[in-house]
Amino acid sequence: QPFKVLATETLNEKALEADIYNAIPTEKVDGTCCYVTTYKGRPYLWARLDRRPNKQAEKRFKQFLYSLEDCKEFIWNFEEDFKPVPDTWIPAKEVEFSNGNPLPDENGHMPGWVPVEKNSKQYCWHSSVVNYEAEIALVLKHHADPGLLEISPVPLAELLEQTLELIGTNINANPYGLGSRKQPVHLLVPHGAFEIKNPPSLNQNDILSWFEGCNEGKVEGIVWHCRDGCLIKLHRHHLGLCWPLAETYLNSQPVVVSFNRNDYDCDFGPKSLFHHFSNLDGQRFDRLKDIKFD
């Protein structure tokens, strides 16, 4: 049964408990979630992979949900109910455990991660933004100058235990217009990187007006970063608003490339993003979508 998730005018109890009024509002960037942690003793990029129930277990779980029997808990069989995942799979930090087994969330999924190997075919766009020889990643973030974005290599060691969003040509229909089919462009954005300078008050009408009425509101959503580590997310769709947009706030800002190849003692392949971006060192573009390598 298809359904919509819509925001109400009432603040969620969890949001109040997490002290959302003193949280930091940031832009929700539209991409796919990644994580940096160690693998084989070195910092590695990991791709999101949720462990899901097989068809039979999912059918049982849905029947349980529709039966509305709140008084009893659904019992999972950890040996038989879930689709296999690679041996390298690890559960996400927020996953709870019972008797040594990771517990599924309210949707029956176990959020988790798999390492992105060099030249991975399955995760080729992920692997295009990391160079394990130099131990760096291509990151989009704010430049020191206000109102300016920067694309630069960042040591993976500096990103350890952080989650990031992979954006670009072949991710989520490319809402930011990065690159082209001939020359795909992908970048990592650390979660919380783009703090909202003039956020709306925590009132539904004010948030609606902000999304619809100002340049800074041309974003996929807002993520409030609470002091206790809790993240409160609000998507435009939750308010019945459209996404993607023809013009986005991210694409309204100029961007500079800072990538001095001499800082790295390794050979970037001629087709790699690292090679292309190092050739653009010091160049400034009016918008992300204006970046061309030719």
Q: What's phi and psi for 180, nearest 5 deg?
A: -155, 170
Q: What is the pLDDT of residues 141-167, one digit of tens each?
A: 999 999 999 999 999 999 999 999 999
Give percent of the chain with pLDDT exceeding 90: 84
Calpha distance 257→291 (Å, rounded): 10
Q: Is 73 a residue whose pLDDT tops 90?
A: no
CB count, 10 Å around CB of 146?
7
Cβ-proximal residues to 79 (8 Å cutoff; 6+ apart), any chain: none
Calpha distance 259→283 (Å, rounded): 10
143, 150 contact by CB (below 8 A)? yes
* pLDDT of the residue at 68: 67
Break the chain into its structural domains and give their ranges: 13-45+118-290, 51-110
Q: Is 3 a residue whose pLDDT tops 60?
A: no
Q: Is 183 a residue whose pLDDT tops 50?
A: yes
| Pick from 158, 122, 164, 115: nearest CA to 140 | 164
* pLDDT of the residue at 13: 87
Mean of the pLDDT values across residues 258-275?
95
* pLDDT of the residue at 69: 61
Q: What b/e string do you get for 74-113 counting C-beta neighbours within 10 Å, with b at 16 or more?
A: eebeeeebbeebeeebbbbeebeeeeeebebeeebebbbb
End-to-end distance of the chain based on CA atoms, in angstroms? 48
Q: What is the pLDDT of residues 119-139, one digit of tens each?
A: 999 999 999 999 999 999 999
Q: Is 236 a residue whose pLDDT tops 80?
A: yes
Q: Please, which pLDDT band fits residue 8 given cuts at 50, 70 and 90? A: confident
Summary mean pLDDT of the chain? 94
In one-letter notation, the amino acid at residue 28 is K
Mean of the pLDDT values across residues 200-221?
97
Q: What b/e string do you get for 10-49 counting C-beta neighbours within 10 Å, with b at 16 or more?
A: eeeeebeebebeebebbbbbbbbebbbbebeeebbbbbbb
Name the pTM for this structure: 0.93
* pLDDT of the residue at 59: 93
Calpha distance 2→263 (Å, rounded): 52
* Torsion, Cα of 278, 283, 285, 290 (10° steps): -40
Order of strands, sheet of 231-235, starting from the edge strand that comes earlier in the sequence: 24-28, 221-225, 231-235
Mean of the pLDDT values across residues 42-64?
94
Q: Which residue has 């030719």 as its token pair?
A: 294
Q: Is 1 a residue whose pLDDT tops 50?
A: no
Determine the longest span between alpha carbons in the chain, in angstroms. Answer: 64
* pLDDT of the residue at 5: 66
* pLDDT of the residue at 209: 97
Q: What is the pLDDT of residues 80-109, one digit of tens each?
A: 999 999 999 999 999 999 888 899 998 899
Give 252-278 as a 3 state SS string.
HCCEEECCCHHHCCCCCCCCCHHHHHH
* pLDDT of the residue at 70: 60
113, 49 contact by CB (below 8 A)? yes
219, 197 contact by CB (below 8 A)? no
